[in-house]
Amino acid sequence: VLVLLAFQDTVLVLPQQSQSIVIYTGWERHALVGSDVRLSCSFFSWRWTSDDVTFSWTYRPDGSRDSISIFHYTGGAAYLDNKGPFRDRVEFVGNPGRRDGSIVLKNLDFNDNGTFTCDAKNPPDIVGRPSSVRLLVFETVPIQAGVITGAIIGVVLGLLVLIVVIYYLMRFLVARRVFNLSVRSVSGGLAALCPGRRPEPEPIPGTETCVAKQKK
Amino acid sequence: MLLLLLGIVFLHVAALVLLFVSTITSVWTTGNIGTSDLWLNCTSVGGLQCNPASAGEWIQAVQAVMILSIIFSCISLILFFCQLFTLQKGGRFLLTGVFQILAGLFVMCGGIIYTVMSPNWVPETESFGYSYILAWVAFPLALISGVIYVILRKRE
């Protein structure tokens, strides 16, 4: 009986240990100075979305080790930053019922470069790792990583393929033109010698028979 | 004859390996702050933090050129083995040599662009790392290998 009870305990404990909340944010966000940016945050949890679900966003500037909290949603109400670097610039646009805890940052500045961390909790599912998204503020939109790389590689390889194709095409055309010229000269010269047979440049059998007749 | 062949192939493969190592490992510049390379900018202040080297058009050009040099060197190796079996006696491995020389020129371009533009995205206190040196070593190797191919004639 004791063994059975112990077994039941382990069976109950194991599924809970394998559950944990998984939080998704973007990897990086690019934005222009003065514009708004939406930082999305959602989570996956095996439990139903509880009424006590909480979202919190913290901000760590680039080059600093300290984080400051800028947004917290709990008990059905959203609390925005009213003292920190994002005072009056944060807006909650998420839907906690749909597991969305996204916020919008307005009127960005170069000082807003940094890492934003979203932490969500869905009681009783509270064990999970917060996820971070990096914000990069630019003056002008930069070219995406890898676009120029891909373009240069594509152009050079395309030129290579084009050169190869043109080379083989020229070879084919030159060979064909040489063959056509020789055919025309032969058939034109044999026009008198091949009575009843009109000289045709293209069809090969006609020429061959003419040549065969001449050889005979 | 076989020894010569092995030597040439060894030279070619050595240049290719150097190109691979130089492009893939991340040590084009090193210094106290961290390492940076064609793909990532890593700083070790306050824990290792790596940011993609996405900003900057010239670094993308260097990436492209290094990858192209690897591709051309690989194509040249394949062509060498093709031509080894299909070339007529007394023929020259011209195509192989041309591709290898082009690969060497691409590495040279990449090295030059990186040397000239590196103050833009790496602080001046950093020194060049071993990947950068390997790229510059691969350039004469590839060039010499290509020239040997152009001069070489098929015997036997």
CB contact under 8 A, A152 and B53: no
A149 touching chain B per CB within 8 A: yes
Taking the whole predicted model, whether its pTM rises above 0.90 is answered as no
Exposure letters A67-80 (e unless 16+ CB within 10 A, then b): eeebbbbeeeebeb
Residue A17 near chain B (CB below 8 Å): no
How far apart are the C-alpha atoms of B103 and B90, rounded to whole Å?
25
The whole-angstrom separation of Cα A205 and Cα A180 is: 14
The predicted model gives B102-126 an average pLDDT of: 81
Closest CA to B53 of B32, B28, B71: B28
What does the block give as tokens for B23?
Answer: 């492009």
A179/chain B closest Cα distance in angstroms: 25
Q: What is the pLDDT of residue A209?
A: 46
Phi first, then psi, for residue A38 (nearest 5°) are -105, 120
Place of tokens 């990947």: B131
B52 interaction partners in chain A (CB closer than 8 Å)? 145
The reply to whether residue A153 touches residue B57, judged by beta carbons under 8 angstroms, is: no
Give every residue of chain A whose pLDDT is below 70, as ranges. Answer: 1-18, 141-143, 145, 186-216
Alpha carbon distance, N-terminus to C-terminus of chain B:
9
Over the stretch B46-93, which tens digit does the pLDDT of each residue have?
566 666 655 567 778 888 888 899 999 999 999 888 888 888 888 888
Which residue of chain A comes nearest to B58, CA vs CA? A148
Kindly list the residues from chain B whose CB atom is less than 8 angstroms away from the CB atom of residue A151: 64
Residue B40: CB partners within 8 Å, gap ≥ 6?
B26, B50, B51, B52, B53
The angle, 0 to 180 degrees and rounded to 10, between the axes of the packed helices A147-189 and A204-215 is 40
Domains and CATH numbers, chain B: 2-26+55-151 (1.20.140.150)
CA distance B73 to A69: 53
Beta carbons of A145 and B60 less than 8 Å apart? yes
Say if CB A99 and CB A91 are below 8 A apart. no
> Residue B106: what residue type?
F
Q: Which of A56, A38, A66, A71 is nearest to A126 (CA)?
A: A56
pLDDT 10s digits, B4-51: 888 888 888 888 888 888 888 767 777 666 666 667 666 666 566 666
Instruction: Give the up-direction half-sphere exposure of residue A194: CA atoms within 13 A in the CB hemisphere.
Output: 21
Q: What is the mean predicted confidence (pLDDT) over B117-141? A: 79
Distance CA B38, CA B60 (A): 8
Query: DSSP letter at B39?
Result: S
The confidence score (pLDDT) of residue A195 equals: 54
Q: How confident is the model at residue B2 (pLDDT cuts 50, 70, 90)?
A: confident
pLDDT of res. A178: 80
Over residues A136-173, the pLDDT tens digits come to 888 876 667 678 888 889 999 999 999 999 999 999 98
Q: Residue A143 and residue B60: Cβ atoms within 8 Å?
A: yes
Confidence (pLDDT) at A210: 46
Contact criterion met (CB < 8 Å) for A145 and B71: no
pLDDT digits (tens, 9 = 90+) for A55-72: 999 999 888 889 999 999
- Tell whether the model's pLDDT for residue B125 goes beyond 70: no
Beta-sheet pairing, A131-138 with A28-32 = parallel
Which residues, 6+ apart, have CB-to-CB distance to A91 below 8 Å? A80, A103, A104, A106
- Residue A211 is predicted with a pLDDT of 45
